[in-house]
A and B are shown apart, each in its own frame.
Chain A
Amino acid sequence: MATAITLIEAKTLASSTTLVTFSAIPATYTDLQLLISVKSSAGATASYIGFNSSQASFSGQYLYSNPPTAPVGGTLARYIGSQGSNGFASYTIYIPNYASAKYKPFSVDNTDGNFGSGANLNMTCGLWANTAAINSIEIDANGNNMLQYSTFYLYGISNA
């Protein structure tokens, strides 16, 4: 039986950059999954996502846990989580039906990778209220550099 998951593209940063882009994403899969390990030059910072070079028509909800403080929620467009002041943050981003003619929801699980004071947890849902197929994904660290050795893996998942 054919595998249902295929690596579309892997990126390992050879030098710092403020924006990582996956472009020309084929529409041949059902869902997309993006796995990220990243550290920012700014230390603690938020991270954001864009589709098709657009930052418009996004909305989102996050759930943030930073023990011993009680978990809190909030709304923030394009937000996919945070990066800590040390260590590499991890993200799992799932985008179902990315090539459909419907609005595009996405789901994110994130830890900021803080190993000094304890890692924090972010769970996020987002929506891009646009019916265009997603053909590019942009990741940024709120204008800060993402450092060398950060990795970004984009997978296609097929139910065909």
Chain B
Amino acid sequence: MASTYEKIQTSTLSSSTPSVTFTSISGAYTDLVLVGSAQSAGASRDSLGIAVNGSGSGIYSRTYLESSGSGAASSGRQSSQIRIVSDYIMGTTGTADFGTYIWNFMNYSNATTKKTVLFRGNNTQVAGGWNVSSMVYLVDITAAITSLTVATMNGPNLNTGTTFTLYGIKAA
């Protein structure tokens, strides 16, 4: 039987690095799945941001549902975002904490429709301050997605041990 779930590229950081970029993404798949485990090289909490095709302009809009601690969850919608942002789902240097992330990029290689992204992120910190996040993003481009660049939103490097793996899913 033909394989329907294949690794495209993987990156494991052996030293702290400003960003991880997956380039020249083949259009041979139907959907993409990006799985990450990441820590900031900074000491303050941070978020991850993904630029699609290198774009940092306000082409990203989202609806989110998040929970941290006890009590009411938060949800909302925002437009004109400059990245696909994880919202404080990230471990910080000097701790054992790594945020975990799964992004699903649907029908990413077509050149006629705008792109949708589903996101699930978690940060379960040993010292408390846990976060659960679920989002849907709309990326206001019709071009095929050919590159994804992941970095912290506030500037620190991605820390050693951070991993990202890009998988392709085939419907045919």
Q: Which residues of A contact B (CB under 8 A)?
A: 1-5, 30-31, 59-63, 65, 70-75, 94, 96-97, 102-103, 105-107, 109, 123-127, 129, 157-160
Contact = CB atoms under 8 A, between A and B. Distances in A.
Contacts of A94: 35, 100, 102
Contacts of A73: 67-73, 132
Given A72-B72, A73-B70, A103-B96, A59 B7 contact: no
B4 A3 contact: yes
Contacts of A125: 100, 122-124, 130-132
Contacts of A61: 67-69, 122, 124, 130-132
A94 B126 CA distance: 19
B interface, by DSSP: helix, strand, loop or mixed? strand
6 contacts: A63-B132, A70-B73, A97-B163, A125-B100, A125-B124, A129-B96
B100 A124 contact: no
Interface in B130-145: 130-132, 134
A59 B167 contact: no
B3 A102 contact: no
Q: For the complex, would chain A's binding face be called helix, strand, loop or mixed by DSSP majority?
A: strand
B126 A107 contact: no
B140 to A, nearest CB: 27
Interface in B119-161: 120, 122-126, 128, 130-132, 134, 161
Given A71-B72, A105-B122, 17 more contacts: A3-B6, A4-B167, A59-B124, A73-B67, A74-B69, A75-B69, A96-B37, A96-B163, A105-B99, A106-B100, A107-B120, A109-B120, A123-B132, A125-B100, A127-B126, A129-B126, A159-B10
Contact of A72 (B5, B35, B73, B131): B73
A124 B132 contact: yes
Given A63-B134, A102-B96, A159-B165, A72 B71 contact: yes
A30 B3 CA distance: 18
A1 B3 contact: yes
Interface string B76-95: 00000000000000000000
A157 B36 CA distance: 13
A102 B132 contact: no
B75 interface: yes
B165 A30 contact: yes
A63 B124 contact: no
